[in-house]
Structure 1
Amino acid sequence: MSTNDTGQGHWPEGYARVVLDSVDSTMAEAARRAGALDRPTWIMAHSQTAGRGRRGRAWVAPKGNLNATLIFKPEATAAEAARRSFLAANALYAALAIYVPAVKLSLKWPNDVLLSGGKVAGILLESSGQGRFVDWLSIGFGVNLAQVPDGVTGASFPPISLKSAGGWDVDPADFLATLADAYATQEDKLAHFGFTRIRQDWLRHAARLGEVITARTGRQDITGIFDTIDDDGNLVLITGTGPCAVSAADVFF
């Protein structure tokens, strides 16, 4: 089953929506549809058989959780496209704050949302293109609305669901509408105020800002005070040898 429409109510103008019963992953489905895009399109699936997260990790989404990808063609370089992870995080924060007290939420660099210290949502970006601008950009959203995945042990940030944390019981399609509207607002902010405003909004909700954290790059662990993110979206730590900008890492605290 599939629907393709622009939605009702507060569904943002100019965005299409596709809802599928089941798919391997919404990111894979987005890539398959990239060539036929005529406007930004949200793809949601009630179930995924091969969902994935950052660095090829599996993403398991029990029934009642959100699996969705936004695919569009921004006029953006690869670096500019990558910075949209912060727009996505801001939008997720705003959407979740409708259903749970905002004081329980925080944003973990580079692309996770924490709820009461546990991981409630993750973001994955993929793009394609060899020219100055990317041909397309996909932003994947996985949100634990109703349940947490089974079998996750030893996680530094154990999964948590919106429902288990005392949040509202929300249908994935309804949450998608809230998220899509919030994301469209972020794109408007980017167009009018630039990335500086996006960065400021993200930092206001950043987890452990001003505290000691560790960034694990795969080659080394870098520990320092979380000072800021720079204009490229890099994590800036103040270490014993001075400021250090980290472009990609897993963060622990």
Structure 2
Amino acid sequence: MWPDGYAKRVLPEVDSTNAEAARIAPDLAGPEWILGLRQTAGRGRRGRAWVNPEGNFTATLVMRPLEAPDVIALRSFVASLALYDAFAQVTGTDAGLSLKWPNDVLLNGGKVAGILLEGSPGYLAIGIGVNLIAAPDASQVEAGAVSPVSLLAETGVRLTPEAFLTALAQAYAKWERTFTTFGFAPVREAWLSRAARLGETITARTTQQETVGVFETVDAEGNLVLKTPKARVAIAAADVFF
């Protein structure tokens, strides 16, 4: 069942669902999901290309939230939890699922989905890509990054993008209600209970530096907290390597 209060548009082809979100944002009456069945100019974090074979999932939720920018950005965790629940629903199990800070979903240790938040004053676009039926070759990802996997190859479950969108929209609406009613605390607790490599040594890499430490927690602002030999370090944005 489609959640109340959310509009939906399905596009046979689009350059980027996040780009479409920017175009329609000024006229939004409420939150709206945009599903692109074929995307010609998809992108991931830091402007990387997002490979999207036909049958995979590319969608964006565009909304006009009223909170401060630092609070709005915490919806990456809301979206992660929604993806986790949607995968559990469509497969009948959460076995093998985990969440990788800041915005990836892992299945059996491989990346099955990613999230990209974009926006400007007045709107937020939550872009989501899911390898439903096919994953990029490992040679197409950054050295040392988690290898991509597909839902079909890992579970045998074959879904249409439209079917997955319904499951995701339902799950997102639930976590959005939790977030707007109770704040980040319950979202953070739920995210940490599903976190990949919590308590283990990981590497956080930015364009300027690399930090190696034990993944201790995610703090109340959504920062990754690593315990290094010298100090506890809170990291606002980085790529994480295991």
| TM > 0.5 | yes
Where does structure 2 lack aligned partners over 5 or more consecutive residues? none
**The residue matched to 2:38 in structure 1 has which SS?**
strand
Q: Which residue of 1 aligns with 2:195?
A: 206
What whole-Å deviation, never above 9, does each CA across 1:79-117 have from its counterpart, x for those lacking one? 111111000000000001123331211100000001111
1:67 counterpart (46, 58, 63): 58
Residues 39-58 of structure 1 correspond to what in structure 2 (within 5 A)?
39-58=30-49
Q: Tell me the CA shift for residue 166 of structure 1.
A: 1.6
Q: Which amino acid aligns with 2:34?
A: I
* Contact 2:144–2:241 (8 Å) recurs in 1: no
What whole-Å deviation, never above 9, does each CA across 1:11-67 have from its counterpart, x for those lacking one? 100100000000100000110001110010000010100000000000011111111
Residue 37 (structure 2) pairs with residue 11 (structure 1): no
**The residue matched to 1:99 in structure 2 has which SS?**
helix
Q: Which residue of 1 aligns with 2:14?
A: 23
1:152 counterpart (134, 140, 143): 140
TM-score, with length taken from structure 1: 0.92
| Aligned counterparts of 2:89 and 2:186: Cα–Cα separation in 1 | 21
Q: Tell me the CA shift for residue 167 of structure 1.
A: 4.0
**The residue matched to 1:107 in structure 2 has which SS?**
strand
Q: Tell me the CA shift for residue 149 of structure 1.
A: 2.7
* Identity %, equivalent residues: 54
Where does structure 1 lack aligned partners over 5 or more consecutive residues? 1-9, 130-134
Residue 175 (structure 2) pairs with residue 175 (structure 1): no
Q: Which amino acid aligns with 1:116?
A: N
2:211 counterpart (215, 222, 226): 222
What whole-Å deviation, never above 9, does each CA across 1:140-162 have from its counterpart, x for those lacking one? 00000011135625452111000
Which range moves more in the overlay, 219-228 or 99-108? 99-108
Structure 1 residue runs of 4 or more that deviate by more than 4 Å after TM superposition = none
What whole-Å deviation, never above 9, does each CA across 1:162-217 have from its counterpart, x for those lacking one? 00002411111010010001000011111222100000010000000011111012
Q: Which residue of 1 aligns with 2:114?
A: 122
Relative to structure 1, the CA distance from residue 97 to residue 248 in structure 2 (aligned partners, 3 Å threshold; closer, same or farther) is same
Residue 154 (structure 2) pairs with residue 165 (structure 1): yes
Q: Which residue of 1 aligns with 2:103?
A: 111
User: Could you say which structure has the higher helix fraction?
Assistant: 2
1:137 counterpart (124, 134, 150): 124
Relative to structure 1, the CA distance from residue 167 to residue 195 in structure 2 (aligned partners, 3 Å threshold; closer, same or farther) is farther
**The residue matched to 2:90 in structure 1 has which SS?**
coil
Q: Which amino acid aligns with 1:247?
A: A
Number of residue-to-residue matches in the alignment: 239
